[in-house]
Structure 1
Amino acid sequence: MASLISAIQSYLPQHEGILPIWLVFVAVTAMGNTIQAYSTLSFTSRVYGGPTSFPTVPRPTPTTPPSLNRSVTPLSSRTFGTWSLIQAFVRLYAAYNIDNPAFYQLAYLTYVVAFAHFMSEWWWFGTCRWGKPLAGPVVVSTGTLVWMWVVWGSYVN
């Protein structure tokens, strides 16, 4: 068991503090989110289930016209998955190069974009409503933004 833990630790960022490990965790979670966004609409539909959304219907066949009233479509879900994957890569690079100002700033900006996206979908566009599905991304983006701002000088000189 100790050798397994040691093997796992050897792949984690070797910098001080918890932030680099957190960035890896969030990046791996985003990769999982990418897989689900490409394979099903159900999870993405939970986040973007605002008042104008309708229940997810099966993927249209060539004989069935697609619904024009759904907020989450197969294309929007895959686009969200691609966006999540790009953010995951940036955050992974930052986790392993956290003392590099450019990587740190890029990772920070991914959280700014995520925060702005989710808040605008909730407050401006109305495609999200507050609840457990939206709380996760908002808490992670807000909390990480504050955390990275506070510890900036600890990692970047």
Structure 2
Amino acid sequence: MASLISAIQSLLPQHEGLLPKWLLFVAITAFGNTIQSYTTLSFTSRVYGGPTSFPTVPNPTPTTPPSLNRQVTPLSSRTFGTWSLIQAFVRLYAAYNIDNPAFYQLAYLTYLVAFGHFMSEWFYFGTCRWGKPLAGPVVVSTGTLVWMLWVWGDYVQ
């Protein structure tokens, strides 16, 4: 059992502090989000469950299947998955190279973009409603932005 724990610890980022491990955790989560975005609309639809004022079917009729009159389409879900994959790679590299200013800044920017995206979808476009599905990305992006700004000097010289 001790050798298994030792093996797992050797795979974790070796820098001090929790931030590198947090970046690794969020990167792994983003890889999972990428997979689900490519395989189902269920989870992405929970986040983007706002009003249906932007139908994906031109001039939907009463006989249009409800699944075709939604904001989250297979294409938009896969696009979101691709965006999540790019963010996952940047955050993964930053977790293992957190003392590199370029990786640190790129990871920070991924959280800034995520924050801007979710806030604009909520406040401006109205495609998201406040609730548990939106709270996760908002709390993670906001909390990580503040955390990374706060400890910048601890990692980047």
For 1:26, the aligned partner's letter is V
User: Aligned runs of 1:4-153 on 2, under 5 Å?
Assistant: 4-52=4-52, 67=68, 69-153=69-153
How far apart are 1:53 and its partner, in Å?
Answer: 7.0
How far apart are 1:5 and its partner, in Å?
Answer: 1.0
Task: Determine the C-alpha separation between the residues in 1 that align with 2:133 and 2:52.
Answer: 16
Task: Determine the C-alpha separation between the residues in 1 that align with 2:131 and 2:23.
Answer: 24
Task: Determine the C-alpha separation between the residues in 2 that align with 1:17 and 1:3.
Answer: 23
Task: Determine the C-alpha separation between the residues in 2 that align with 1:128 and 1:111.
Answer: 18
User: Does residue 3 in structure 1 map to residue 3 in structure 2?
Assistant: yes
Conservation of the 8 A alpha-carbon contact between 1:52 and 1:126: no
Structure 1 runs not aligned, ≥5 long:
55-63
Deviations 1:30-71 (CA, angstroms, capped at 9, x unpaired) = 0000000000000000000002279xxxxxxxxx9982x311
TM-score (norm 1): 0.90
Identity in percent? 87
Would the alpha carbon gap of residues 77 and 121 (structure 1) be closer, same or farther in structure 2, given more than 3 Å must change?
Answer: same
Structure 2 runs not aligned, ≥5 long:
55-63
For 1:46, the aligned partner's letter is R
- Count the aligned residue pairs: 147
